[in-house]
Copies of this chain bind each other. A is one copy, B any other.
Amino acid sequence: MSDHEHSRCENCIIRQMNSFKALKKEELKQMADNKKTKTIKKGDIIFKEGERLGGVFCVRNGISKLSKMSDNGRDQIVKIATKGEVLGHRSVISSEATNLSAVALEDMEVCFIPKSHIEEPLQTNPVFTNAVLKHMAQELKFADDIIVNMAQKTVRQRLAEILLYLEENFGTDKEGYLYLQLSRADIADVVGTATELLIRTLTKLKKEGLVLTAGKRIQILDKKALLHIVEGL
């Protein structure tokens, strides 16, 4: 493996984007010596709901979905995780099996970090622990928002919200289409509905001139109108 300077955690830019920035030099060195960088192909499973993770996965590049299977057999996507995010920290912290599955939506590069290198700083480095704590507090707040959305909003509202989210967080290509090309099924799994209804709802937005589609690609035409949909009915 070509372990050059960029694969040393100390120099990893990703570190600036998450709680790892609170780690000390020695801790990072330890981590760098034990981490395993993995290349993951689009569609590959990083981990599956119910597995016990021996560590966390730090996303170096690419985008993944975190989902949970419902009793009725449908997947619900709970989060889309990208560069800089750490997967599996929740289950390492509570030393339980994961409640979520992680699947790559694009080719990815992730670093697997054995849990001992997380657990130890959690005991000894309060700055790190507090950074993680703050991060989880944020996640909890987002989760509350999602609960309310799922419980109270229509598919149309949730779709509008996700389209805006995708543009906000992943941007567009030069032609103005959303950079992240989720399949209709994936979008449906985020929204929490059947793909047929998702498609119908999207088609309606298209007819109203708020979005534009070309194959699986989607472009937002009227951001304001979408925002308006998200809020009122």
Contact = CB atoms under 8 A, between A and B. Distances in A.
Interface of A: 68, 70-72, 74, 76, 78, 90-91, 93-94, 96, 99-100, 122-124, 126, 129-130, 132-134, 136-141, 143-153, 191-192, 230-233
Nearest to A72: B152
Nearest to A143: B143
A164 B151 CA distance: 19
Contact of A133 (B71, B78, B132): B132
A137 B78 contact: no
A100 to B, nearest CB: 7
12 contacts: A70-B149, A70-B151, A71-B230, A71-B231, A72-B232, A129-B130, A136-B140, A140-B140, A143-B147, A147-B147, A147-B150, A150-B192
A169 to B, nearest CB: 18
Q: Assembly of this chain: how many copies?
A: 2
A168 to B, nearest CB: 18
Contact of A148 (B76, B96, B137, B148): B76
A86 to B, nearest CB: 13
A146 B148 contact: no
A100 B100 CA distance: 25
Nearest to A68: B148
Given A70-B152, A72-B233, A76-B152, A140 B139 contact: yes
Across the A-B interface, the 5 shortest Cβ-Cβ residue pairs: A151-B192, A143-B143, A150-B150, A70-B152, A94-B137
B151 A93 contact: no
A179 B97 CA distance: 33
A148 B78 contact: yes
Contact of A122 (B100, B133, B139): B133
A112 to B, nearest CB: 20
A150 B193 CA distance: 11
A224 to B, nearest CB: 16
Given A68-B148, A90-B140, A129-B130, 13 more contacts: A70-B148, A72-B233, A90-B137, A93-B133, A93-B137, A94-B138, A126-B126, A129-B133, A136-B137, A139-B140, A140-B140, A140-B143, A151-B192
